[in-house]
Structure 1
């Protein structure tokens, strides 16, 4: 009968690397940056040779904090959520953390349950792309010493950095581009804004920006396909003398409106189409769909860096940029 393979110990790693147990503990803890690059390499090599894996849950119970970072996303199917999660995960691996991702599916009750779960795991910090307004729960985390960073969406009365796109700059960039291309009437299409501060902010910025630029404009909230198609057709029919364009508030909206353009036989370019968020398929739909790409990796990594500075003071300065500029990717859909 075979016996279980014995796990290597931190003491064995220290002996093989020729250093103290304390240095190895620092390497697998929150103080890795205090070690020289040479020392870090020796520890990593020794741990690899011995196939050593620290027991992060035990470390968390002993020190009151795990090496887990909890992350809540409102909709894991949204390409923005996928891209942002990738950025956070990359930064976690770089600094020795593991990422525990919970999808709330835009359900505030699931959000509450997931926050309870992450509390039970004693996560070291939280990255939250909120669905509802879990102020009380997040304040409890903060009061217990667990830092929180808000991703993309603000929550009132929560002492946390908000990391995301500069929405004012994004809307201004979109309207400037459409105006420069000769479009005179713009329809802004958004998902329901009630549970998202970002959607509310973009809607407000659009109405203000379109008015400042003397553009004929209207807004549309997605509902059923039939209602959305009728509203789009009505907007175009109401502006027969104007070059019309549609600005989509996020990637999900861009996909919906692109399908409606195809169903209605609207030539891209003659009728402008532009979306916030770059999607893999946007350059595959002839003649290509113009987008504003978010620097999702930078946003995700910055969220993790903010957490690290709250978990343990770092020798490197904290991030100074929390609102990021989009990148315009101009394609044929806004070329008249």
Structure 2
């Protein structure tokens, strides 16, 4: 088994430098840091967990990064994390990144320097390189909601591809052929997978994708859903249905329809994605694809807690199923 001295010898640095890199306890030139991390990878070096805990004075605290605290989807996911961690004595520190890379990096560095026991990163943006640096230091880290395929770590996500297929099949099964799409940045893996589900479902139905029916400036908030509906429904040949890539944008679609004379679902069907709590209370109630939000958080926490106990266990990549929820926005209201 490799020792810290072996790492120092291979990297041609002092043992103190290796310790500073692995424990983030002092400044190290980037060139030396890369040599140390490269040596760690080549030697498959595993720091002594007990000794490292004593040196770093790790607390029973877990850091959690979420992209937007305004979105109820992330609130429910975070609750799953917090409930699971609290049950075994861990405190959760929640950090909202506002989808800003710089802010996310700042929180990652701060939480690491504050010696949290581990991190759960929900829907990471373009921070893969910074997460890899933490993983190179053998720091416990779990990815939730948006996968990062290039990172070798534990992750738990929903089946976004199948969920999008379910939404499109439902609309096609109701004889809709002109389906408007309100999407967001396709660099996000969740969006890319939903988009792939849309494309494959249309292809299997023999329907060509119409670029005039795509609004690609969505930001997962209602105002972009409203703007997307306005663009799509003012066309000479508007869609008969709209699939918004999350529920909040679908709310914006419903609001535009209600304030501009569109009858839902008689003149326009609307479906979202997430099934956040308010979706059953909109007027009309929103059809959507349900993600297991609480379970995503619960499973992420369980994976991190397992990693604390079994640091050398194989990484897990878990995909949880989605389910189609049909409500009044895509079908006649049910009479009770």
The TM-score normalised by the length of structure 2 is 0.73
Whether contact under 8 Å (2:156, 2:318) holds in the other structure is yes
In structure 2, which of residues 59, 83, 89 is the aligned counterpart of residue 96 of structure 1?
Answer: 89
Residue matched to 1:257: 253
- Quote the offset at 1:71 in angstroms: 0.7
Whether contact under 8 Å (1:190, 1:253) holds in the other structure is no
Whether contact under 8 Å (1:104, 1:131) holds in the other structure is no
Q: 1:318 to 1:258 in 2, by over 3 A?
A: farther
Whether contact under 8 Å (1:167, 1:198) holds in the other structure is yes
Residue matched to 1:238: 237
Whether contact under 8 Å (1:305, 1:318) holds in the other structure is no
The residue matched to 1:333 in structure 2 has which SS? Answer: coil
The residue matched to 1:101 in structure 2 has which SS? Answer: strand
Residue matched to 1:221: 216
The residue matched to 2:74 in structure 1 has which SS? Answer: helix
Q: 1:156 to 1:78 in 2, by over 3 A?
A: same
Structure 1 position 181 matched with structure 2 position 180? no
- Quote the offset at 1:189 in angstroms: 0.8
Residue matched to 2:119: 126
The TM-score normalised by the length of structure 1 is 0.73
Whether contact under 8 Å (2:124, 2:143) holds in the other structure is no
The residue matched to 2:194 in structure 1 has which SS? Answer: helix
In structure 2, which of residues 126, 147, 158 is the aligned counterpart of residue 154 of structure 1?
Answer: 147
CA distance in structure 2 between the aligned counterparts of 1:63 and 1:132, rounded to whole angstroms: 28
Structure 1 position 110 matched with structure 2 position 103? yes
Give RMSD over aligned pairs.
Answer: 2.6
Structure 1 position 83 matched with structure 2 position 76? yes
Within-5 A mapping of 1:166-315: 166-194=159-187, 196-215=188-207, 217=209, 218-222=213-217, 228-234=228-234, 237-238=236-237, 244-270=240-266, 271-313=268-310
Residue matched to 2:60: 67
CA distance in structure 2 between the aligned counterparts of 1:311 and 1:101, rounded to whole angstroms: 19
Q: Rg: which structure is higher?
A: 1
Q: 1:234 to 1:207 in 2, by over 3 A?
A: farther
- Quote the offset at 1:307 in angstroms: 1.2
CA distance in structure 1 between the aligned counterparts of 2:298 and 2:84, rounded to whole angstroms: 5
Runs of 4+ aligned residues of structure 1 deviating over 4 Å after TM superposition are 59-64, 223-227, 317-321
Residue range with higher mean Cα deviation, 102-111 or 129-138: 129-138
Whether contact under 8 Å (2:169, 2:201) holds in the other structure is no
CA distance in structure 1 between the aligned counterparts of 2:91 and 2:84, rounded to whole angstroms: 10
The residue matched to 2:272 in structure 1 has which SS? Answer: strand
CA distance in structure 2 between the aligned counterparts of 1:208 and 1:234, rounded to whole angstroms: 27
CA distance in structure 2 between the aligned counterparts of 1:156 and 1:335, rounded to whole angstroms: 37
Unaligned runs of 5+ in 1: 1-58
Whether contact under 8 Å (1:306, 1:319) holds in the other structure is no
The residue matched to 1:71 in structure 2 has which SS? Answer: strand
- Quote the offset at 1:139 in angstroms: 2.0
- Quote the offset at 1:309 in angstroms: 2.1
The residue matched to 2:278 in structure 1 has which SS? Answer: coil
- Quote the offset at 1:186 in angstroms: 1.2
Unaligned runs of 5+ in 2: 1-51
- Quote the offset at 1:63 in angstroms: 6.3
